[in-house]
Amino acid sequence: MLDLNIVLIADRIENKKNLDMNSDVLEQIGDEYFFEIFNSLNRVCRHVTHYNDLPTFIDNIAKHKKDLVFTIYGGNTSRNRMALVPGICESYNIKYVGADVYNRIICQDKNISKELAKKMGFLVPNSITINSEKDICRLEVSSIDYPVVLKPLMEGSSIGITEKSLCLDSTDVQRKAESLYKRYKQPIMIEQFIPGKEIVTCLVGNRNNIRLAEMVEVCVEGLPQYFDTNLYTGAIKHQDKVNTYHKIITNEIDGYIMNQIITAFNSFGKMDYMRIDGKLYQGKFYFIEFTPDASLSSHCSFKDIYLHKNKNYDTLIQDIIQSALENYQTQ
């Protein structure tokens, strides 16, 4: 057991599986996920205090100057919502687990993160961004091969991505982009669809101690080529619309790709844990997204990897906490 007090920030909601995929609270924390984290933290740490909202946390923040904050806060509709808890902690000089404010914001913006990934040497699907309704009227997607995927620029957790997000021609793009823009009131990215395997790479650690670096294929039971023609949608992630499982493929991948991913992870500085998502097509890895606020639920790829290594869920949570503490020691 770690000799420290944890402050858990998690905005719980009931019956999350029944939510509409367009819900504004889709990134809030369902009861199952909350209790997995809460109970594990209680097993690995001395004491856990939970706050369900930020005003209550701020009202009590003086009590927690020497504690460590663990956030799975889903937030509101602000585009900066994933950076709110780290921002509060930094303002009050309180240590916390996970990516810092800067890293969370640049990873939340798909345009910025794609440009960063290019500079890191990753292959990145071609894309353009619609910034206004006028852009939609003038839209010409001639620089990108079809099919394409429509995505809200500042969302995570596949919010706004459904089966209908895959577009086959310009008429389809224009109609769906207009609807998506009106719904989310933010720029829309039009991104070239890459067929092939759906890939997530899970990382835990810091520059001095990489505790985990494994590449996993997201597989659909009975449909090995599912992601050649389908998207990894919010309905799959949040509502189990198809049965998926994780297959560790690190040893099947060119060592250069894994070294590139680990180098990228290390370059961020304070991250502690993250997921790097992509597609694997004809032996090449295509970057899709940096995910510093990756799910740690019992259904997540992190837990499956630890179980494969004969380690339990508590070890995963403890490794993430230890990585955070080590990051502060080296600052």
Place of tokens 């092939």: 196
Per-residue pLDDT at 172 exceeds 90:
no
Please give the pLDDT value at position 170. Answer: 83
**CA atoms of 83 and 87, how far apart (whole Å):** 6
Higher per-residue pLDDT: 240 or 297: 297
- For residue 184, name the pLDDT band (cuts at 50, 70, 90): confident
For residue 27, name the pLDDT band (cuts at 50, 70, 90).
Answer: low
pLDDT: which is higher, 171 or 148: 148
pLDDT of residue 22: 55
In the prediction, which pLDDT does 91 show? 97
Instruction: Assess contact for 159 and 233: CB atoms under 8 A.
Output: no
Task: Give 168-174's long-range contacts (Cβ < 8 A, gap of 24+).
Answer: 170/139, 170/140, 170/141, 173/139, 173/141, 173/148, 174/136, 174/139
Q: Where does the pLDDT of residue 74 fall: very low under 50, low under 70, confident under 90, or very high at 90 and above?
A: confident
Can you say how many angstroms the Cα of residue 88 is from the centroid of all Cα atoms in its chain?
21
Q: What are phi and psi of 15, to 5 degrees?
A: 55, 45
At 106, the pLDDT band (50, 70, 90 cuts) reads very high
pLDDT, average across residues 188-204:
96
pLDDT of residue 163: 85
- Residue 20's pLDDT band, with cuts at 50, 70 and 90, is low
